[in-house]
Homo-oligomer: A and B are copies of this chain.
Amino acid sequence: MVYRWCREGENRPDTDGWRLSLYKLIFEADSPYGKYFDVTLIATIVLSVVVVMLDSVHSIKSIHHETLYLAELIFTALFTIEYFLRIISVKSKKRYATSFFGIIDLLAIIPTYLSMLLPGSQYLLIIRILRLLRIFRVLKLVQYLSEAEILVQALKDSSKKITVFTFTVLNLVIILGSLMYVIEGEQNGFTSIPRSIFWAITTLTTVGYGDLVPVTALGQAMASVVMLLGYSIIAVPTGIVTHSIINRSMAAMPVEIAEETKDVALNIVCNNCGLQGHDTDAYYCKYCGAKL
């Protein structure tokens, strides 16, 4: 999945010309110019995210708001130009526009225009941070991608078990929260069932804000059960994921090593057909039948 996001190369224009040059510059990091472009892009993204963050801090906004707003406009203009250049250079416009990065690239510029109609929405610009995922391509961190691949696959493998677990936990917090609402009641802060369910989630996940704490003896006994439950059942997703990672890592082992564990003598080559992969106990080539 992760790989697919990055195989943007498949959208390369077929014919030579300025479109291909543009494509190479924007989408590929092999040429020096392509690399400069990517590094500049990443720096710009980080800068623009910092600007959005700073603009939300009162003490900074009150002094530098106009500078920050100008910077935001410039960044959005740059990203808009970049988006259109990307659209122009690719072979299939639709394919890029509906790809993971195509959508992120668009979402990274919309909030500025939206904020002219809907004040406050400019903070959604923070989604630009997702564009940083391109960093893996620039830094040629293909190894990191394959590690990410293993993690994603491991999570996929265990998705059914995790769904069952999440469904159970959700049922649990709804029932426990409602019980707590009946036990503690509104006079102790458990003012509604949704509020009590929020408390149950807070307690079961061991977050424990402490804005709402049971005060009756029965409520504290109940809370103790919830806490011990939360402390114990965290073992379940951990067990599931650990099992998946162990399985996946073994599956992702390089072929030579995996072969070795399969008791295959790699150095045995058939003199007749030249193929390898014979078992250590083989007397005849399994492909052509010649004596080894």
Q: Taking beta carbons and an 8 Å cutoff, which residues of A are in contact with B? A: 49, 52-53, 56-58, 120-121, 123-124, 126-127, 129-130, 132-133, 143-144, 147-148, 150-151, 154-155, 160-166, 169, 171, 174-175, 178, 181-182, 186, 191-195, 197-198, 201-211, 213, 217, 220, 223-224, 227-228, 230-232, 234-246, 249, 262-263, 277-279, 281-291
Contact = CB atoms under 8 A, between A and B. Distances in A.
B245 A240 contact: yes
A228 B245 contact: no
Given A175-B129, A228-B169, A239 B154 contact: yes
Contacts of A206: 205-208, 231
Contacts of A57: 191-194
14 contacts: A57-B191, A58-B192, A123-B182, A124-B182, A133-B171, A203-B207, A204-B231, A209-B210, A239-B241, A239-B243, A243-B245, A243-B246, A278-B286, A279-B286
A175 B130 contact: yes
Contact of A164 (B58, B124, B148, B194): B148
Nearest to A215: B211
A201 B228 contact: yes
A60 B240 CA distance: 41
A9 to B, nearest CB: 22
Contacts of A166: 228, 232
Given A205-B228, A205-B231, A239-B244, 7 more contacts: A124-B182, A202-B208, A211-B213, A236-B241, A238-B242, A281-B286, A284-B286
Contact of A151 (B201, B236, B279): B236
A151 B243 CA distance: 12
A124 to B, nearest CB: 7
Contacts of A243: 239, 242, 245-246, 249
